[in-house]
Amino acid sequence: MKIKELRNGMKNVSVEAKVTEKSDPREVLSRFKDETYKVATAIIADETGTIKLTLWNEQINQVNVNDTVKVENGYITSFRGEIQLNIGKYGKLTVE
C-alpha cells in the first residue's frame, strides 16, 4: 500500500517506507494503570507522500533516520487533525 492511499479508520495496513525524521521520546502516563510509557513519532515517506508513525517503548530504539521500515497489520487514526500510522499490539514493525 502507498502512503497517499491511507485514510482515517483503515485497518490491516501494510506499508514500506523510509524514515525521514524522528522525535525525541516523551513519557506518557497510562490511562488504565499507574505506569508510564515512552512514545516517539517518526515521519516515514514513500514516493507518494509522508505520514507520522507512532513508536512505543522498545520500538523507539529500533528505528533511526534513513532506515527503511515495514509495518504490517497496522491501522490509521486521526490525532489533532493529522492521520497517523499505528502498529498496535497485533501489528508488526520490521527495520530493513
And the C-alpha cell for 61? Answer: 530504539
pLDDT higher than 90, residue 30: no
The pLDDT assigned to 72 comes to: 98
The pLDDT assigned to 32 comes to: 85
Would you place residue 34 in the very low, low, confident or very high pLDDT band (cuts 50, 70, 90)? confident
Distances (CA, A) of 29 to 34, 37, 65: 7, 6, 26
Distances (CA, A) of 19 to 9, 14, 45, 95: 23, 15, 6, 10
What span, in angstroms and rounded, lies between the C-alpha atoms of 72 and 1? 10
Model confidence over 40-94: pLDDT tens digits?
999 999 999 999 999 999 999 999 999 999 999 999 999 899 999 999 989 999 9
The pLDDT assigned to 31 comes to: 84
Question: Domains of the chain, with CATH numbers?
Answer: 3-95 (2.40.50.140)
